[in-house]
Homo-oligomer: A and B are copies of this chain.
Amino acid sequence: MLISMSYHGSCVMIKGTLYLIPSILAEGVIENVIPAGTLEIIRGLQYFIVEEIRTARRFLIKAGISSPINDLTFFIFNEHSVETGLEHFFSPAFEGHSIGVLSEAGVPCVADPGALIVRKAHDLEIRVVPLTGPSSILLSLMASGFNGQNFAFIGYLPSEKNDRNKRIREVEQKMIIQDQTQIFIETPYRNLQLFDAIVSVCNPETMLCLATNITGDEENIVSKPIRVWKTRKPDIHKKNTIFLLYHG
Using CB atoms and an 8 Å cutoff, list the residues of chain A in contact with chain B: 1-2, 20, 29, 31-38, 107-122, 128-130, 132-135, 138-155, 180, 214-215, 217, 219-224
Q: Of B37, B154, B221, B223, which is within 8 A of A29 by CB?
A: B37
> What residue in chain B is nearest A154 (Cβ atoms)?
B150
Give the chain B neighbours of A113 by CB distance below 8 A. 149
Q: In the assembled complex, how far is the CB of residue A245 from the closest CB belonging to chain B, in whole angstroms?
A: 14
Q: Of B118, B120, B134, B144, which is within 8 A of A142 by CB?
A: B118
Would A155 and B144 count as touching, CB distance under 8 A? no
Give the chain B neighbours of A224 by CB distance below 8 A. 122
Known contacts A31-B35, A145-B121; A132/B215 CB under 8 A: yes
Bound complex: CA A223 to CA B123 (Å): 9
> What residue in chain B is nearest A122 (Cβ atoms)?
B223
Q: Of B37, B111, B112, B141, which is within 8 A of A32 by CB?
A: B37
Known contacts A2-B220, A133-B132; A149/B145 CB under 8 A: no
Q: How many of these chains are in the complex?
A: 2
Give the chain B neighbours of A114 by CB distance below 8 A. 148
Q: Could you list 27 A-B pairs, sorted by A, with CB under 8 Å?
A: A1-B217, A2-B219, A31-B35, A32-B37, A33-B35, A33-B37, A35-B36, A109-B145, A110-B148, A113-B149, A115-B145, A118-B143, A118-B144, A118-B145, A119-B223, A121-B145, A122-B222, A122-B224, A130-B214, A132-B134, A132-B139, A132-B215, A135-B135, A150-B152, A150-B154, A150-B155, A151-B153
Give the chain B neighbours of A149 by CB distance below 8 A. 110-113, 115, 155
Give the chain B neighbours of A144 by CB distance below 8 A. 115, 118
